[in-house]
Structure 1
Amino acid sequence: MGKIFDPEFMIRSFPEVLQALPTTLFIAFVSGVIGLVIAFIISFIRYANIKILSPLAKVYISFIRGTPDLVQIMLVYYGIPLFLKAINEKFGTSFDVNGVPSIAFAIIALAINAGAYMSETMRSSLLAVDSGQLEACYSVNMTRFQALRKVIIPQTIGIAIPPLSNSLISLIKETSLVFTISIVDIMAQAKIVGARSFRFFEIYIVVSIIYWVVCAVVAFALSKVEVYARRYERKVDS
């Protein structure tokens, strides 16, 4: 009779599962950067209450919040090839519908998802900065752009880093869904390794430990970034 629980299998499996860690981190990093760019754009659109664009931004955020992450990945995975095919038929172009790698779909889907959540963080952080500071900037003949760049945005970043850290950690964990579109990330690699011996409980413990350590390291690094970003506040308080 075989072992009910096999710690030795877990130890042997760690190196194999870790082979897929670079793929997971790459997807999380690239989609996080793109999501942050989207968040900045959307948050400033809503902060400035730009006509037409602001209502569209609200719809975008509402849709992302109201639909599961897996559904969004599937919409991108199946929607983009249809979109490219329609363009080819309409304009006679020759975009290779089958040539788009799966990892690109994953990055686009996760970036769109992260951008919606991060934009709300950025907008609330912008609103948290005292409006009187903007008026003070105007009083010394600063333009709106100069006031935002030199005064408002630096404070906004300091306020936004803790919730943005949570969003990034969530994004790392959400990469576990990309195996559904044939990407060999940590989860897919774990399923492959686990299927050879049907030791799925042990292999998912391995996956849990890897995600836990990665998220702990990211959280620690971002806490240091937060301390650096808010260094001016400490000087004022002292």
Structure 2
Amino acid sequence: MFDTSYFFSSFSFIIIGIPLTLSIALIAFLMGGLIGFVIAIIRINQFKYFHGLCIAYVSFIRGTPLVIQLFLIYYGLPILLKLAGFGNLISEIHPIYFVYFTFSINAGAYLSETLRSAILSVHKGQNEAAYVIGLSKTQTMLSVILPQAMRVALPNLGNQFIVLLKETSLAFLVSVPEIMGQAKILAGRTSQFFEVYIAAAILYWCLCLLIERILRYGEKKLSAHI
């Protein structure tokens, strides 16, 4: 039988994981955005040597599951630190930092493709016009190209953030107590898995609905200024 009272009471415990869930998603999205922008610029300009490395990086990240990437970082990075002579630091590294790192490099690969296609969608005449009035390449990118590219990229960026938010549920696999981690702890104590996981699903759903509203508001504001 479905225990309604336990279902509602479980929210007070699971909700503790919301700040950690949001921090993983936000940090990974911001760092991934920075990584993605750098990769997009390298690929657009086809910088020698780095261009091929960026293609390989994007291909590997997009071609392998995030859960495998998380395990490779969580179990593999300590081995590399030991080989480099920093074995004493391993015990001091909290699992959340492995999660931040993994999710950031994962988001970077996907965001690079979104940003690259958005930048390329801006007509080349915009570059030429900017150079004519004396703007440098950096000024042109920051003042002319990026604002127009962001207008194109914003819907896809929003969707990717929502996907990233849901993927944070994998962090519990390395003992990070975000929403899913809290739900797993609670369900393990009481064996009332159904009620707990429904409560967790509702929390994820509510967060996604809230983010969708914020993104729609941001898109309208951006459209009004471009």
Which TM-score tier does this pair reach, normalised by the shorter chain? Answer: over 0.9
Name the TM-score, length of structure 1 as normaliser: 0.91
Q: How far did residue 95 of structure 1 move?
A: 5.1
Structure 1 gap segments, 5+ residues each: 234-238
Secondary structure in structure 1 of the residue aligned to 2:84: helix
Structure 1 position 94, deviation (Å)? 6.7
Aligned counterpart, 2:171:
178
Task: Return the alpha-carbon distance in structure 1 between the equivalents of residues 102 and 42 of structure 2.
Answer: 21
Q: CA RMSD in A?
A: 1.3
In structure 1, how many angstroms separate the alpha carbons of the residues matched to 2:225 and 2:26? Answer: 28
Structure 2: which amino acid aligns with 1:150?
S
- Calculate percent identity across the aligned residue pairs: 39
Select the residue among 128, 135, 138 that pairs with 2:131: 138
Q: Structure 1 residue 41: deviation in Å?
A: 0.7
Aligned amino acid, residue 101 of structure 1 = H
User: What stretches of structure 2 of length at least 5 have no aligned partner?
Assistant: none
- Structure 1 residue 231: deviation in Å? 1.8
Write the deviation string for residues 127-155 of structure 1: whole angstroms up to 9, x where unpaired. Answer: 11111111111222222111111100111
The answer on 1:158 being equivalent to 2:155 is no
Where does residue 101 of structure 2 map in the other structure? Answer: 108
Query: Whose radius of gyration is greater, 1 or 2?
Result: 1
Of 223-232 and 173-182, more deviation after overlay is shown by 223-232
Asked if 1 retains the 8 angstrom alpha-carbon contact of 2:78 and 2:87, the reply is no
Q: Which residue of 2 aligns with 1:40?
A: 37
Matched, 1:216 2:209: yes
State the one-letter code of the partner of 1:47. Answer: I
Find out whether 1:117 has 2:110 as its counterpart.
Answer: yes
Deviations 1:135-189 (A, max 9, x none): 1112222221111111001111111111011111111111100111111111121
Which of 30, 52, 57 is the matching residue for 2:54? Answer: 57
CA distance in structure 2 between the aligned counterparts of 1:198 and 1:118, rounded to whole angstroms = 39
Aligned residue in 1 for 2:80: 83
In 2, the alpha carbon distance for the partners of 1:95 and 1:12 equals 42
Q: What TM-score does the superposition give when structure 2 sets the normalisation length?
A: 0.96
1:19 aligns with 2:16: yes
> For this pair of structures, how many residues does the alignment match?
226
* 1:62-95 deviations in Å (ceiling 9; x for gaps): 000110010000011012111211111xxxx675
1:128 maps to what in 2? 121
